Chain A
Amino acid sequence: MTAALINVLIFPGLLFLFVLSLIGEYYDRKLYARMQNRMGPPWFQPVADFIKLLSKELIIPANADARIFKVLPLVACISTIVAYLYIPLFSNNSLLPFNGDIIFVLYMLTLPTLSYALAGWYSRSPYSLVGTMRVLTQLFAYEVPLFMAVLAPAILASSWSFQEVISFYGNSWLWLVNIPAFAVAIVTLQGKLEKVPFDIPEAETEIVAGVFTEYTGPLYAYFRLAMNMQTIVGASLVAAVFFPFGFGTCVLLNFVIYLLKIAFIIFLLALMRTLFARLRIDQMLVFCWKYLAPVALLQITINIIIKAWF
């Protein structure tokens, strides 16, 4: 019982995810800055930001619904942490594996997006309203390609659970077949995390802060924490499904390989942030449905053909 409690609260649960998300934010911001020929923030910047935001005054607009207003950041954080507990990090099994946990993790990762939309709606301010409409429209654009891309390797392995997918690929090189789906998954992950070029819901220069305009102080700190944790959880999901190697016997080696996988994925995400301008919402819909969904479909077709062959 205590072992399970330690697993959930400290490692690899709440505390470990918290620390890793702060390190992930520092790494991402430092890469972004260095690619723009700037110095970037010092290592303690994410911690300092979090503590500073916690110490600010909490202002709730008179029009807003106070109870839901306060609960939504916690919903975002908690659903992200629960999703993290079900992803295998350095061994074949996650904490509580069951059949179908890939789909469960994907569903849990949709909850934060819905909480952003509700946060915008219940703030009752014009900027947040526009932000809500954009969050929900963007959800329609990237959700289907993301699901299809993440589930393509699972289709090849004929199972919906992480454990069987990892043991199917084992130590073979079969995971190289899924590279197109990996590309689609990285692009749609950027959409889920709402970063440039898909940060339309939180476009700073257009709608101030979008859905988070009326959030101040501690509530905003938890939303930002939820966004950072979502980065780590999304990167871990992509790493577990597309790079199913490095789950040998030595736990320390697995841990190092896990960190390297996450570092590589965050590097790709930071690169995407640097290279592109922000898309408009109608351009994003066209882009996702015209280019991403067909590639994901193609990958699924290839996987089905390979499965039938062997």
Chain B
Amino acid sequence: MRRRRIFKILGSLAIPLWLVTGHGHRVATAQQTQSVNLTVSAAISLTNALRDLQALYQRSRPNVTLTYNFGASGALQQQIEQGAPADLFFSAGERQMDALESANLLLPGTRRNLLGNRLVLVTPRTSSLTLTRFQDLSRPQVRRIAIGEPRSVPAGQYAQEVLTNLRLLESLRPKLVFAQNVRQVLSYVETGNVDAGMVYATDARESERVRLAATAPANSHSPIVYPIAVVRRSQNAAAAREFVAFLASAPARAVFQRYGFSRVN
């Protein structure tokens, strides 16, 4: 009796095991012959636009699966330097792309600037403070200001440049909270846990819980451009180039524009 029960248990375990290993394996190899999985390491500010484009691209290229890895561009750059299996790098800053280029980690000739953006100052919609200029950040009622960690977050680097340019950085330093990426800055502001934050114009536009206080003058920071390039180690370079061409095409540009990104030449 007991032995029969053991067999029953073993049998019930074996079926899912067979499905997972043997059967599943056959399905996987059958797909491998035609399908491509592209891993795109992209700046987190691109999240919503790229998600939209994924659906669009999937319709025309059903055999290409896009896997996004969103994060701070500096963190993504580090991951690629440490050997992360990314096919494409879509950065929110040129510095991170330059680092990979000088480390010879990019496929030569594939780098191009796709988009531009602006840096803005936002406050919580519910806040009683009305800020209209960056100089207002010096007011004593403003106790916490969030920016991205400048070493790894391009938006933080631009924010630091703006504050340095306006000679505000040193006096504001005790108020600064350094976030892990620009979306974290946005969520700090949305939840009201900081009095102000510096994010991209596109982030501010997507959130209903923040108020636009000021836009940084374009000459107060280095130009905000989003370069993209194929990673040298990519096993799917041809498919990766094709996806870049799609991102530069008119339909994709329309989507980016809808989210507030600008064109660069």
Pair from one complex: no
The interface of chain A, by Cβ under 8 A from chain B, is none
The interface of chain B, by Cβ under 8 A from chain A, is none
